[in-house]
Structure 1
Amino acid sequence: MADLTQVKEHAEVIGADGVHVGTVDAVEGNRIKLTKKDSGQGSHEGHHHYIDGGLVATVEDGTVRLSANADVAVTFETEE
């Protein structure tokens, strides 16, 4: 797991495949809170989703890269 203290607000979150997953709203504990605009559609729209910090492979140049491809990473997202 990467050092989550390096994750900055508005950083782009991308999967290992380079596909956009979301935009950082904040870091809360061991999770990255994504902005509502990246919340998806239908019943997933309009609320925050969270990515577990354990999925973060690296943080560099204002980008958070996950260890899983985007399509897999979104299946691990949690909602509140």
Structure 2
Amino acid sequence: MSDLSSVKEHMEVIGADGVHIGVVDSVDGGRIKLTKKDSGSHSDHHHYISGGLVAEVEGDRVRLSANADSAVLLEEESGGEAIADHRG
């Protein structure tokens, strides 16, 4: 995991494959809070990415250790529960 202190608002979050996942709203504890517009069908609230998925911060991008298609399945709700658990 990279040092989350270097993660800043408006940075792009990308998967290990370079595919866009979202934009940083803020760092909240050990997690990255994504902007609401990047929360897909749940755009009325924020989704979170665990800091444990951050491979590196490079320029204005946060690169994750998982490809985008896997990383979105690991997004969390504000309480820490997996988004995937809420999909029907």
Q: TM-score, normalised by structure 1?
A: 0.94
Q: What is the SS of the residue equivalent to 2:45?
A: coil
Could you tell me how far apart the structure 2 residues matched to 1:56 and 1:11 are? 13
Residue of structure 2 equivalent to 1:24: 24
Q: What is the SS of the residue equivalent to 1:79?
A: coil
Could you tell me how far apart the structure 1 residues matched to 2:26 and 2:34 are? 7
1:57 aligns with one of 50, 55, 60: 55
| Alignment coverage as a number of residue pairs | 78
Please, which runs of 5 or more residues in structure 1 have no aligned partner? Answer: none
Q: TM-score, normalised by structure 2?
A: 0.86
Residue of structure 2 equivalent to 1:76: 74
Report the Cα offset of residue 45 of structure 1.
2.3
Which structure would you say has the larger RCO, counting Cα contacts within 8 Å and 6 or more residues apart?
A: 1
Residue of structure 1 equivalent to 2:40: 40
Report the Cα offset of residue 60 of structure 1.
1.3
Please, which runs of 5 or more residues in structure 2 have no aligned partner? Answer: 79-88
User: Deviations 1:31-59 (Å, cap 9, x if unpaired)?
Assistant: 00000010102xx2221000000000000
Give runs of ≥4 in structure 1 deviating > 4 Å: none
Higher strand share: 1
